[in-house]
């Protein structure tokens, strides 16, 4: 598979991706692209980042959110890592950085549930992240825990074990 397969939106296969059950075959498609990104040499990763469209970034951000959920369900730090890398890939696009910040809060929260600091994961993956994303993620990790609460980003935990999920809530309630 080439990365072009992931970013082909002509068949609209990613419509409704966030609401699909976890896991879903689309997770494998996006996951392969993220793994290809991690296996690529630095110059190829940089070249790929120039072609991430807003629609591509939305898919990558949804994948990151789904990996944050799956990480807790499966007790998998690797899923948190994949979500972080995917979010880094998404940050190369022209979308509003605040959209990624909300998902980063979920990825960080899942890491904390698993007993891992997001700052450690950012350092472990720093070579795989675009410089802007790396610095933004580092800054996020330096914030006090109160400033990173998922409720402030409009989310709350729901369910336990294999039923764990993040749900949208009003950040002002």
Q: Residue 5: its pLDDT value, please?
A: 40
What distance in Å separates the CA atoms of residue 118 and residue 57, rounded to the nearest whole number?
Answer: 21
The SS3 assignment for 117 reads coil
- CA triple 164-168-172, angle to 5 deg: 125
pTM, two decimals, is 0.91
- In a domain, residue 109? The reply is yes
Range of the domain at 90: 3-168
Number of domains in the chain: 1
- In a domain, residue 173? The reply is no
Identify the band that residue 16 occupies on the pLDDT scale cut at 50, 70 and 90: very high
- In a domain, residue 134? The reply is yes
The SS3 assignment for 131 reads helix
pLDDT tops 60 at residue 4: no
Q: Residue 173: its pLDDT value, please?
A: 59
The pLDDT > 90 percentage for the chain reads 63
- In a domain, residue 148? The reply is yes
pLDDT tops 50 at residue 2: no
Q: Residue 3: its pLDDT value, please?
A: 44
| Mean pLDDT score of the chain | 89
Phi-psi region of 169 (alpha: psi -120 to 50; beta: other; left: phi over 0): beta
The SS3 assignment for 155 reads strand
């Amino acid at each position: 598979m080439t990365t072009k397969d992931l970013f082909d939106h002509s068949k609209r296969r990613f419509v409704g991706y966030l609401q699909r059950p976890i896991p879903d075959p689309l997770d494998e498609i996006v996951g392969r692209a993220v793994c290809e990104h991690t296996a690529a040499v630095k110059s190829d990763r940089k070249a790929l980042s120039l072609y991430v469209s807003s629609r591509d970034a939305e898919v990558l951000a949804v994948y990151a959110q789904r990996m944050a959920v799956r990480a807790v369900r499966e007790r998998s730090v690797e899923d948190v890592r994949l979500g972080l890398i995917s979010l880094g890939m998404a940050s190369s696009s022209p979308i509003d950085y605040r959209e990624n910040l909300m998902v980063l809060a979920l990825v960080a929260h899942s890491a904390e549930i698993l007993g891992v600091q997001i700052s450690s994961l950012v350092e472990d993956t720093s070579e795989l992240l675009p410089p802007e994303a790396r610095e933004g993620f580092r800054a996020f990790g330096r914030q006090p825990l109160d400033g990173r609460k998922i409720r402030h980003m409009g989310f709350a935990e729901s369910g336990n074990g294999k039923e764990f999920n993040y749900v949208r809530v009003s950040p002002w309630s």
